[in-house]
Amino acid sequence: MDPAVVGGDAPLRPSVVLPVFEGPLDLLLHLVREEKVSIWDIPIARICAQYHDALRAMEELDLEIAGEYLVYAAWLLLIKSRLLLPRHEGEEKDPRQELVERLVEYEKVKAAAAELAGLVELRRGVEAVRFAAPAAPEEVELDLEDVDVLALSRALTKVLERHVREHPQTLLLEPIRFSVRDKIVELFELIRRQRSFPLLSHLLTRPDRLESVTLLLAALELVRLGAARTHQRRPFAEIYLTPTGAALPMDALTDA
Amino acid sequence: MPEFKNLAAMIEAILAVAGDPVTLDALVAVAGEGVEAKQVEDAIEFVRLRHEGEGSGLQVEHVGGGWRLATRSEHEWAMREYLGYRARARLSQAALETLAVIAYRQPITMPEISFLRGVNSAAVVRTLVERKLVVVAGRKQVVGTPLLYRTSKEFLVHFGLPDLSALPTPEEVEQVAGEGASEP
């Protein structure tokens, strides 16, 4: 719980020292201690009000309030309302009981954390001595103690990556299924019959991409050979192919 | 079979090049045939006491299930001065709390950790795993089979503990907790 000075650089607002809390339990424990009340007999109404005040203060300081704080805020309100209802002796447990149990457990966690911090404080400057010995032998010693599932999965990933690197995918050559020459003949037939042939919709309705590409090449070839003309009204509109009347120079067609 | 002082000197040499804690078994194995574990233990203790007594800059410490040679904390400032590094990054309060929960309740799942701390602890646990202070210890056989976490050997070394039983007992911890709050 390091105190963080907030708002120190804003001259118009007084600087506020607000402790940084690890969560709702930490905040509640802080409030209980501030009030100097017993953790076993928390005055819920008072603590609840202060808890909500603290959340508002955090909000005003634009601190992001984690959802867990709101869960506990609601829980406190619930406990408070339960306490207002008349209770019959021995019928029900104290509505505060679960909250108290959690606070007590959390207090132990904080104490244990403080113990650990103390242990580590004693060890500042304790560094392992490792004289530079000749390089390790060929077989790396595995520290089985600290090998866990994550280490195993990392090792597996490395092995798989190396496998992929060392075994590159073989190049797959697909057989040529469409020839430009065939398509030129086919397209030429089509435009001769239809006079004005919608090229774009024809291309877009082919089930096979390779066929569309071959057809486009064929159309360009027809124009180059002077056997067809293209028309387009405006950009992105349909492209029409019309025959020029010239015959298809069969011997000019390559076997591509 | 090397004589006792020779054995002690040999162990010191091994610790000097090992860096990581060396287990008793490993030292017995190097000592060779005819050397009992008890003799090796005595020799380690001999080396340890010699460093304690002679105003040595080094110490033999029993951490992480083995022994290792390390510098002493008295000279921290001098080493820092010479090496020109700043103090080691300290563990945050969140990290310490999470470590405490794991250390005393291991093996434990992420939801259990978050419940005890009252806040989602996933990011902290991930950082601790990255720092190798915490390792995965299988899965809990409940719905969703969540991962179980435990502290590592690195954790013991970091906190200067020979093993988990050397952690402050829950009773000792509770005494500390009692000092801060008024209990009946």
Domain assignment present for residue A137? The answer is no
Token pair 């569309």 is found at A212
Could you tell me if residue A141 is inside a domain? no
pLDDT of residue A90: 65
Mean pLDDT, 10 residues at a time, chain A of 256 residues: 44 52 91 88 90 86 78 92 78 83 93 92 86 65 72 88 84 81 88 87 87 90 88 88 83 63
Q: Is residue A212 part of a domain?
A: yes
E strands within chain B? Answer: 58-63, 66-71, 108-109, 134-139, 147-151
Residues A17 and A106 in one domain: yes
Question: CA A76 → CA A23, A69, A73, A109, A256, distances in Å?
Answer: 15, 11, 5, 22, 80
CA distance A26 to A48: 14
Q: Rounded to whole angstroms, how far apart are CA atoms A74 and A39?
A: 20
| B48 conformational bin, left if phi > 0, alpha if psi -120 to 50, beta if neither | alpha
Least Cα distance to B69 among B98, B89, B44, B105 occurs for B44
B21 and B57 together in one domain: yes
- Residue B87 in any domain: the answer is no
| Torsion A196-A199-A200-A205 (CA) sign | positive
Same domain for B124 and B57:
no
* Residues of B in Cβ contact (< 8 Å) with A127: 70-71, 79
Closest Cα partner for B102 from B83, B118, B121, B81? B121
Report the candidate in A35, A6, A9, A4 with the shortest Cα–Cα distance to residue A19: A4
Q: What is the pLDDT of residue A169?
A: 77
CA-based nearest residue to A34, from B143, B172, B181: B181
**Residue A127 parent element (H or E):** none
Nearest CB to B135; choose among A24, A72, A146: A146
Q: Given A38, A106, A125, which is nearest B75 (Cβ)?
A: A125
Instruction: Tell me how close the Cα of A43 comes to any Cα of chain B, in angstroms.
Output: 14
Say yes or no: B73 and B9 in one domain: yes
- Establish if A11 belongs to a structural domain: yes
- Same domain, yes or no, for B16 and B61? yes
What's the CATH code of the domain at A188? 1.10.10.580
Q: Residue B152 corresponds to which amino acid?
A: S
Residues 98-127 of A with CB under 8 A from B: 102, 105-117, 119-120, 122-127
CATH number, domain of B173, equals 1.10.10.10
pLDDT of residue B180: 47
Query: From the candidates A70, A104, A130, which should be mutated to test the interface with B, based on the most B CB atoms within 10 A?
Result: A130
Q: Both tokens of residue B161?
A: 């503990």
| Shared-domain flag, residues B105 and B127 | yes
ipTM of this complex prediction, to 2 decimal places: 0.84
Number of domains within chain B: 2
Residue A195 lies in a domain: yes
- Which tokens sit at A115? 């113990």
Mean pLDDT within B73-93 = 82
Q: What is the pLDDT of residue A139?
A: 59
**Domain boundary, last residue among B81, B114, B137:** B81
B123 found inside a domain: yes
Residues from chain A contacting residue B135 (CB–CB below 8 Å): 146, 148, 150-151
Distance from CA of B35 to the nearest CA of A (A): 24
Q: Inform me whether the pLDDT recorded for B49 exceeds 50.
A: yes
- Pair A9, A24: CB distance under 8 Å: no
Instruction: Indicate whether A103 and A192 sit together in one domain.
Output: no
Domain boundary among B81, B101, B126: B81
The least confident of A12-26, B51-65, B78-92 is: A12-26
Q: Is the CB of residue B32 less than 8 Å away from at least one CB of chain A? A: no
Residues of A in contact with B181 (CB under 8 A): 29, 32-33, 38-39, 107
Instruction: Identify the DSSP state of B84.
Output: T
Looking at the structure, tell me whether residues A100 and A196 fall in a common domain.
no
Residue among B130, B127, B97, B128 at smallest CA distance from B114: B97
Closest CA relative to residue A180, chosen from A220, A153, A152: A220
CA distance B98 to A110: 10
> Counting one residue from A and one from B, how many pairs have CB atoms under 8 Å apart?
165
Distance to chain A for B50, nearest Cα, Å:
17
Closest residue on chain A to B95 (Cα): A113
Contact B112, B105 (CB under 8 A): yes
Chain A contact for B100, CB < 8 A? yes
B100 and B57 in a common domain: no
Residues B108 and B170 in one domain: yes
Q: Using pLDDT thresholds of 50, 70 and 90, give the confidence band for residue B46.
A: very high
CA A128 to chain centre: 39
In angstroms, the CA B23 to CA B37 distance is 11
Backbone angles phi, psi at B171, to 5 degrees: -65, -45
Q: Do B180 and A33 touch, CB atoms closer than 8 A?
A: yes
Cα gap B96→A113, rounded to integer Å: 5
Best CA proximity match to B37, nearest among B28, B29, B46:
B28
Residues B68 and B26 both lie in one domain: yes
**Residues of the domain holding A186:** 180-252
pLDDT of residue A251: 73
At residue B178, the pLDDT reads: 57
B88, part of any domain: no
Q: Are residues B114 and B149 in the same domain?
A: yes
Chain centroid, CA A121 distance in Å: 37
Residues B72 and B115 in one domain: no
Q: Are residues B106 and B70 in the same domain?
A: no
**DSSP 3-state of B107:** coil
Asked if residue A130 is part of any domain, the answer here is no
Query: What pLDDT score was predicted for residue A136?
Result: 58
**Gyration radius from chain A CA atoms:** 40
Give the range of the structural domain holding residue B97, as residue numbers without chain letter.
93-180
Same-domain check for residues B110 and B39: no
- The pLDDT value recorded for residue B87 is 63
**Which of A40, A117, A133 is facing B184, going by the closest CB pair?**
A40
Burial class of residue A169 (count of CB atoms within 10 Å of its CB; 0-12, 13-18, 19+): exposed
State how far the Cα of B75 lies from the Cα of A228, in Å rounded to an integer: 91
Q: How many CB atoms lie within 10 A of CB A49?
A: 14
Instruction: Give me the DSSP letters along B6-36.
Output: HHHHHHHHHHHHH-S-B-HHHHHHHH-TT--
Mutate which: B11, B75, B93, vs A, most A CBs within 10 A: B93
Closest residue in chain B to residue A37, using alpha carbons only: B182
Residues of B whose CB is below 8 A from A126: 59, 61, 70-73, 160
* Domain boundary pick from B33, B48, B81: B81
Q: Is residue B86 part of a domain?
A: no
- What is the Cα gyration radius of chain B? 20
* Number of domains observed in the structure of chain A: 2
